[in-house]
Amino acid sequence: MESNSQPASPSDRPPQQTLANIVGTAIAILTLTLPLWAIAHYSPTNIKIWQPTPYQLQRFPQ
């Protein structure tokens, strides 16, 4: 590497790298949102909240 060379500026990127950045961002967004959408879509709408019933002792005849 020459000592008097200038570093490449961000505008000197080849178009393939810019396209790769866009595709990578789209994949990342899908990876984060698609599971949440699937869970929301396939989960039941009327969720019953589980509440424990009071425990009752059973007495056996003596």
What tens digit of pLDDT does each residue of 7-60 get? 556 566 677 798 999 999 999 999 999 999 999 888 877 767 777 777 776 777
Burial class of residue 24 (count of CB atoms within 10 Å of its CB; 0-12, 13-18, 19+): exposed
> Which pTM value belongs to this model?
0.49
Burial class of residue 40 (count of CB atoms within 10 Å of its CB; 0-12, 13-18, 19+): exposed
pLDDT of the residue at 38 = 93
